[in-house]
Structure 1
Amino acid sequence: MSRSKENRVTTTTVPDIAGLRIGVLCGGNSPERQGSIASGEHASKALAAAGITTELIDLGDTPLTALPGRIDVALLGLHGLYGEDGKVQGALEVARLPYTGSGVLASALGMHKPTLKYLFTQARIDTPAWVPVDRDISVESTLSAVRHTLGYPVFVKPASGGGSLAAGIARDEVALRAMITPTDDEQYGEYMIEEYVQGIPATVGLIEVDGRLVTLPVHDVEPKTEFYDYAAKHDPALRVEHCPSLLPATTTESMQYVAKRVFRMIGAHGVLRVDFIAGVNGRTTVLECNTLPGLSERGNLATMAKAGGIPYGTLMQHIVRTAYTKPGYLP
C-alpha cells in the first residue's frame, strides 16, 4: 500500500544498524558543549545496551578528518554553533560519511533565527515580531526601533544559539541597553530582540519511523523561573512538565500541523523539534526550530517519544536509520 504524500519520506536501502560502527558526535567548542556531551553520553549508552558497536566522540579533541574509516555513520548529538548550523554537516557530506538529521541548508536555516523568521513571515506562520541587533547601527537607533515597533517587555537572544544561553527579558529601555551594549566576552556575535509573548512554552517533535514522518505528542512546561531559561531546562525542580500537553486539543493540533509545515518549509530530514508559545490571549506563535534536538533520555524529544509509545533506546535507533533515508542529493 502506498503512503500518502503528506507522510512520505524518500527512502533508500537501510542497512542493519547492528552491523555498523556508530560514532556519536558530541561536545565540540560550542557554548552548548555541556548539554551536547549529555546528549552524546545518553545516546551512546542506549545504543551500546542494544549490542550496537558505538563510540562516543568529542569533536573538541577529535578532528572530523579522523572519522572516515573509523566509523560507518555519525549520530549527531551536537548543539549550537559549529555543530547544529550546517558546518559539520557540510564536512561530513564532503567526506561522504552518512550522518543523522538534516542537511546543510536546513541546518543553517534552523540555526539562524532571523532568517528563519523571515521564512515564517513569508509563509504566514505566526512568529513574534523582532528587531535585529546590527553592530553597524548605534545602540540608540536600535532602542528607538524597539520603542516604536515592539514596546516593552522584549526578549533578547542570540541569533544563532540555543538552550536559552545569553538570553533574557528586558522590561524597560535601561535593561535593554545593558543587554545589547557590546562587551569583550561575548560568546555570540549576533543578537536579536523579539516581541515578548506571555504564555506557556510548548514543543512538538517530529521523527522519521520506518520511512514515515511521525508527529509526537505535544510537550508543555510551566517554568518556576521568570522564563524557560537554561537553569529551568536542566533542573527538573524548576519546572512542571506535561506530556501529552494539558493545552486544549485545538491548540495542540494546530501546533502539530504547523510543526509539519516548518519541517517541509526548511527541508528538514529525519528529526525536528519546533518550539511554540501558547499565549494567554489564545495566540499560538512559533519561536524557533531545532534540527538537532537534545538526545538526553530526560530531554523533551525523548519525553515526547515515550508519550508516543517509542522507548528511548528505540528512538535512538530510529534516528540512526535516518542517516540512510536521505535523498540522493540533499542541499
Structure 2
Amino acid sequence: MNRKIRVLVLMGGKSPEHDVSLLSGKQVIDNLDKNKYEISSFIIPKSGKFDFVLFKNLKVDIVFLAMHGSFGEDGTIQGLLEIAGLPYTGSKVLASAIGMSKPVFKKLMEQAKISIPKYLIFEEEDGLDKIFNKFKYPFVVKPANQGSSVGVSIVRERKNLGLALESAFRFGETIIIEEYIKGIEVTCGVLGNKDLIALPVVEIVPQNEFFDYEAKY
C-alpha cells in the first residue's frame, strides 16, 4: 500500500490578513482527501516569531501555503521555505514578490504593452497636486503591497481623500492612485506550471460598493 502524502498546511503570520489565513487553512484541511493525504498544520503567530529549527525539521512532503498578504504572498515565506528545503504550493520567490508589488507589476505590464488603468505612485511626502494634475474624481487609492482589498478606497469627492490616504498609508510609505473604471469585475484562476489549466471565468457581484475586504470575507 502506498504511503499517504504528508501535507503541512501553513497559515497565520504577521499580515493584516492573519485571521483570513486561518479560515483558508481550515478550509484546506477540511477539504483535502484524508484517504490520500496525511494532514498536519502549522500556525505562525501574529508576532511572526516561531522556532525555525523545529519548523525546518518537520517531516512533510509538501507545504500547502494558506497564507495571505504581506509575509505570505510576497516572496518572504517562499524564501524561508526555500532555505528550509521544503517544497511548497504556489508561485516561487520572484513571481510572488513581483505579483505583490503593484508598482513593479504595473511597470512590467507597461513594458509588455499590456493595457492597464492609468496610475500614479504616491509617496507620503508628495503634495496633493501630484494627484489632481493627473486624476479627476472618482479615483482609487490603495496600498502598494497588500492583497484582499485591504486599505482600498474609492474617492468620489475631496472630503473623502484624507481618510483614504490615511487608510492606505497604514501599510507602507508608498501607495497607488489609480483611475476608477466602472464595469464588470471577473476573476479567473489558472493552475499548473508549464501545462496550464484555466478555470472558468467567474463574475463578481459584490454587495458593497466594490469587492472590498468585508465583501470578500
- TM-score, scaled to structure 2: 0.89
What are the within-5 Å matches in structure 2 for residues 1-16 of structure 1?
none
- Runs of 4 or more above 4 Å deviation: none
User: Which residue is equivalent to 2:114?
Assistant: 125
Distance 1:181 1:80, change over 3 A: closer
User: Which residue is equivalent to 1:207?
Assistant: 191
* 1:20 partner amino acid: I
Structure 1 contact 31–187 (Cα < 8 Å) conserved: no
Higher fraction of helix: 1
2:8 is equivalent to residue 56 of structure 1: no
CA displacement 1:109-140 (0-9 Å, x = unmatched): 000011101111111111111112212x33xx
* 1:84 partner amino acid: E
Offset at residue 173 of structure 1 (A): 2.8
User: Which residue is equivalent to 2:207?
Assistant: 224
Instruction: State the Cα RMSD in Å.
Output: 2.2
Offset at residue 187 of structure 1 (A): 4.0
* 1:21 partner amino acid: R
Offset at residue 232 of structure 1 (A): 1.4
Q: 2:90 aligns with which of 98, 101, 123?
A: 101
Distance 1:201 1:103, change over 3 A: same
* 1:99 partner amino acid: Y
What are the within-5 Å matches in structure 2 for residues 1-331 of structure 1?
19-47=4-32, 49-60=34-45, 62-70=50-58, 71-135=60-124, 137-138=125-126, 141=127, 143-181=128-166, 186-208=170-192, 212-234=195-217
CA displacement 1:33-55 (0-9 Å, x = unmatched): 11111111111122253341111
Distance 1:23 1:172, change over 3 A: same
Structure 1 contact 22–53 (Cα < 8 Å) conserved: yes
* Same amino acid, percent of matched pairs: 36
Distance 1:50 1:212, change over 3 A: farther
Q: Secondary structure at the match of 2:132?
A: helix
Offset at residue 67 of structure 1 (A): 2.1
Equivalent pairs counted in the alignment come to 212
Distance 1:59 1:162, change over 3 A: same
User: Which residue is equivalent to 1:264?
Assistant: none
**In structure 1, how many angstroms separate the alpha carbons of the residues matched to 2:173 and 2:25?**
26
Offset at residue 203 of structure 1 (A): 0.9
Gaps of 5+ in 2: none
RCO (CA 8 Å, sep 6+): is it higher in 1 or 2?
A: 1
Q: Secondary structure at the match of 1:43?
A: helix
CA displacement 1:6-33 (0-9 Å, x = unmatched): xxxxxxxxxx7x5332110011111011
Gaps of 5+ in 1: 1-15, 235-331
Q: Secondary structure at the match of 1:40?
A: helix
Q: Secondary structure at the match of 2:148?
A: coil
**In structure 2, how many angstroms separate the alpha carbons of the residues matched to 1:44 and 1:111?**
25
* 1:221 partner amino acid: I
**In structure 2, how many angstroms separate the alpha carbons of the residues matched to 1:127 and 1:65?**
43
